Chains A and B, each alone.
Chain A
């Protein structure tokens, strides 16, 4: 807070229709984001299906911190920090596996997969030491929603359900595309690094203005129906759910088509097994509607992007160093659909993807671009005059409008301003 003006620096940098370019490039801002966003609010970490069996583990992250997601012998999912409580060595050096315990290679301290210190070498040197004081660090709060595991370093604050708010419904909608109501993350991740600030990625995920231009090369040669969804005449919507969560709602366009599985560029006839299982699970009418509406395109702040057929997890490593972890969504009980989801995902995303190679180019050019200091601002005013409230009270706009960016920055400012 500036004592002379009563204006916080964040209020000066974040305006209703524009934000200051330095928010993407200032290392001090990045450090403040780690403290106020990544290490204080709910962050997506992993999916329960990645550790299906007792003692399974997989190494994940919260920002630059390495987090081991384990399923302990009782079946509980733990988020442990990958740092020995002795001298800080990383206790786990493999990306995944099955282990009851982790032994630090430095001095052979051994931790159970629920984080408890169970032993150290030459224990006579630790006479009287209470082992329970030397457990692995943990992510303070762990909650999951329909299998998606989130962690927060805050002991207090909103529950995960409160944090997800209206956006929880998009995850409900997602899992309904499985005849068994479950998503599985089983296809492995591509890890795509970009030399750009993480917020360029965050804001691009629900930017419906860019596809017609950035992706023109692939839309032009691939016979894609995606281009029309993002055209000037599209009836699709952008939506701000609050708490930084944003969506591109393509259902109005898919409902006009009125053809099951058209959202995925296919048809019931080409997926007979899936169609039959969906009808058995939900009944003909509901199954038809689910298969017309398709899966959501939603960015759960700050790092989980569900993009119809794939899932991205954004990881910030530095002010100009970010990684997108991406994998095909897999729907339990839908093998014929899952195969196509993997094939489409491999074609479109990751370092060599037909879509993401161009998106990542834009992130990096934007990052270099904002190093120029005039104009100072990123202008985010598109559709400000024509945005409206939907029936649930969420702000919506045309699919090409910058409703999502404005929503993200409104929430960002709340998190960054001192309480």
Chain B
């Protein structure tokens, strides 16, 4: 167990990290967002529940690090029409919890809830999700080694999800 003091310091760093990630996503700062990832990062948005096996079943997003880079590069072209013009976005991140301070693999397990308001050419859309992160200290900075976004309605038919969720 970490001391109460170091635990509070860690929580404060994690909270700042999650808020920063949220802001970079809302403001379409794709390259800065990509830099938050570790070299082995996995970005996962499952479909049809929270506990599917992404190696066997379809996910909405199941990106390894090179596919995260591809996703960012597509957004950067300015010709990814679903984000040209870009969605206007604001999200709230809350219920941040440290799930496991010192798991076996050394990463920090963190969870939060998120509520995202998207305004796009189609309409205004509200998205809600449980986010599960694996964070890691790399050169003294927190980085994402894993982000799993469990949309509340991922078992239903959903509209195009082309911003960074």
What is A's interface to B at a CB cutoff of 8 Å?
95, 187-195, 214, 216-218, 220-222, 323, 325-328, 339, 342-343, 345-347, 350-352, 354, 356-358, 360-362, 364-365, 368
What is B's interface to A at a CB cutoff of 8 Å?
45, 47-48, 52, 55-63, 67, 70-71, 73-74, 77-82, 121-123, 155-162, 165
Contact between B79 and A220, CB atoms less than 8 A apart: yes
Set B47, B57, B70, B122: member contacting A350, Cβ < 8 A: B47
List 5 additional A-B contacts (Cβ < 8 Å) besides A351-B162, A357-B161, A362-B81. Answer: A191-B47, A218-B74, A339-B55, A350-B58, A358-B81
Expressed in whole angstroms, the Cα–Cα distance for A339 and B56 within the complex equals: 8
Max chain B Cβ within 10 angstroms of own Cβ: one of A188, A192, A365: A188
Set A194, A342, A368: member contacting B160, Cβ < 8 A: A194
Max chain A Cβ within 10 angstroms of own Cβ: one of B52, B74, B121: B74
Say how far B153's CB is from chain A's closest CB, in angstroms: 10
Q: Which residue of B lies closest to A321 (CB)?
A: B157
Max chain A Cβ within 10 angstroms of own Cβ: one of B52, B55, B67, B79: B79
Contact between B158 and A192, CB atoms less than 8 A apart: yes
Contact between A364 and B121, CB atoms less than 8 A apart: yes
Set A95, A192, A350: member contacting B155, Cβ < 8 A: A95
Tell me what chain B mostly uses at the interface: helix, strand, loop, or mixed: loop
Expressed in whole angstroms, the Cα–Cα distance for A358 and B90 within the complex equals: 22
Max chain B Cβ within 10 angstroms of own Cβ: one of A216, A218, A221, A347: A221
Chain A residues with CB under 8 Å of B158's CB are 191-193, 351
Contact between A216 and B79, CB atoms less than 8 A apart: yes
Set A339, A347, A350, A362: member contacting B67, Cβ < 8 A: A347
Contact between A222 and B70, CB atoms less than 8 A apart: yes
Contact between A187 and B160, CB atoms less than 8 A apart: no
Chain B residues with CB under 8 Å of A354's CB are 70-71, 74
Expressed in whole angstroms, the Cα–Cα distance for A221 and B68 within the complex equals: 12
Set A218, A325, A351, A362: member contacting B60, Cβ < 8 A: A351
Set B47, B55, B82: member contacting A358, Cβ < 8 A: B82
Set A222, A346, A364: member contacting B62, Cβ < 8 A: A346
Say how far B19's CB is from chain A's closest CB, in angstroms: 23
Chain B residues with CB under 8 Å of A95's CB are 48, 155
Say how far B115's CB is from chain A's closest CB, in angstroms: 18
Set A188, A220, A328: member contacting B47, Cβ < 8 A: A188
Expressed in whole angstroms, the Cα–Cα distance for A347 and B69 within the complex equals: 12
Set B47, B52, B162: member contacting A357, Cβ < 8 A: B162
Say how far A66's CB is from chain B's closest CB, in angstroms: 13
Chain A residues with CB under 8 Å of B71's CB are 354
Q: Which residue of B lies closest to A218 (CB)?
A: B74
Cross-chain pairs A/B with CB under 8 angstroms, 24 sampled = A188-B47, A188-B48, A188-B58, A189-B47, A190-B58, A190-B60, A214-B81, A217-B77, A217-B81, A218-B74, A220-B77, A221-B70, A221-B74, A342-B55, A345-B58, A346-B58, A346-B59, A350-B60, A352-B60, A352-B162, A356-B160, A358-B82, A360-B160, A361-B121
Expressed in whole angstroms, the Cα–Cα distance for A228 and B112 within the complex equals: 44
Assess A191 versus B157: contact at CB under 8 Å? Given A221-B70, A352-B61, A364-B121: yes
